[in-house]
Amino acid sequence: MIIRIFPNTRKEFDAEEKLRDWLNDELRLRGGEYHLRTTNGVGSIPAGSIVLFRFEKNIVGHAVVKKDVVSFNKKIDGIKYEGMIQFKPSSIKVYKKALPIEFLEKITGRNFSFGRAYFRIETSDLFHKILAEIKK
């Protein structure tokens, strides 16, 4: 199973709650289409992969990829986007309580301190551990 982490910063959302609302509402309304400002470091993310949405030091939700990254060279509201990935709208989940990035560091043994990276994690049981933790 491939798990990717998509970083979001205060440049995109001025607060974690704004990202949560956007994932819950806007991303669903646009059929799961997520625009990428850059595709550098993203690479291929095949259908069925899981993307975790990060805001600063927290994971706030996840979604399952429906269609891999494609070129998207468009300007929307003055922002230039280079790519687009599509998630299954029904798979978009926003956690009631954010999952600290330290939890992922502890169970993977990796350092995720660089917040703007599209980290790739290949593991069979990590997602089950994440789901168990958010259900606590």
**How do residues 14-31 score in pLDDT, each as one tens digit?**
999 999 999 999 999 999
* pLDDT for 116: 59
Q: Is residue 11 predicted with pLDDT exceeding 90? A: no
Q: Which domains, ranges and CATH numbers included, belong to the chain?
A: 2-135 (3.10.590.10)
Q: Write down the mean pLDDT value for the chain.
A: 90
> What residues contact residue 58 under an 8 Å CB cut-off, 6+ apart?
16, 98, 99, 100, 101
Distance, in Å, from the CA atom of 86 to the CA atom of 46, rounded to the nearest integer, reads 10
List, in sequence order, every residue forming a beta bridge with 86; answer none if it has no partner. 33, 67
Residues 67-121: tens digit of each pLDDT: 999 998 888 888 899 999 999 999 999 999 999 999 999 988 888 887 656 787 8
* pLDDT for 4: 92
> What residues contact residue 19 under an 8 Å CB cut-off, 6+ apart?
8, 12, 13, 53, 55, 60
